[in-house]
Amino acid sequence: MEECEAICTRMGILANIRFLCLGSLQHLRDRLSDGYTLIIKLKRSADAEKSKELEEHIQKLKTFISQTFSKSVLKDQHENILYFQIETPIIKWSHIFGIMEKAKITYQIEDYTVGQTTLEQIFVRLARVQGQRVRLEVPENTCFGLC
C-alpha cells in the first residue's frame, strides 16, 4: 500500500467482481473509510493501589468516548492504551482534537492520536467482505468520479 500511495494519483477498487471505486487516494478514504481512529494512552504510576485508579479512569474514559462519539467502537485495549474506531466521518478533525484536549486533564490522558482509516485497513475490510461473499454496503453515488 505504501508504494501505491507514493506512486499513484488515482486508484480503482474491485470487490466481488464488481467495480466499486475510481478516484484519488483521498477520495477512496472519504468514500470507503470507517471514519477515524483514536488511540489514547493514559498516564500510569508504579503503585499497585494506583492500578485500581487506572481501571476506574479507563472505565470513565470509555463511557466518555461512547457518549461523546455515538458511533465509536473500542477495537482494542492493552494496559493503559485504548484504540477506538469513530465511525462518523462527518465529524471535523478540529472538533475531535478540541474534545480530546479538554479531556486530557479530566481523564489523565498522557497522549492521543487521531487519524484517518488507512488504505490498507480499507482493503483488508473489503477483502474480508469479499471472502464472506455478502453484499458490500457502499454508499449511494459511490465514486466513479474523476478526482
User: Average pLDDT, stretch 3-15?
Assistant: 80
**Which neighbouring-strand residues pair with 13?**
21
pLDDT digits (tens, 9 = 90+) for 99-117: 999 999 888 899 999 988 8
> What is residue 78's three-state secondary structure?
strand
- The mean pLDDT value of the chain amounts to 79
Q: Going from the N-terminus, what domains does the chain have, and what CATH number goes with each? A: 2-33+118-132 (no CATH), 36-116 (3.30.70)
Structure pTM? 0.70
Is the pLDDT at 63 greater than 90? The verdict is yes
Query: 100-107 long-range contacts, Cβ below 8 Å, gap at least 24?
Result: 100/38, 100/40, 103/61, 103/64, 106/64, 107/42, 107/57, 107/60, 107/61, 107/64
**Which neighbouring-strand residues pair with 46?**
none
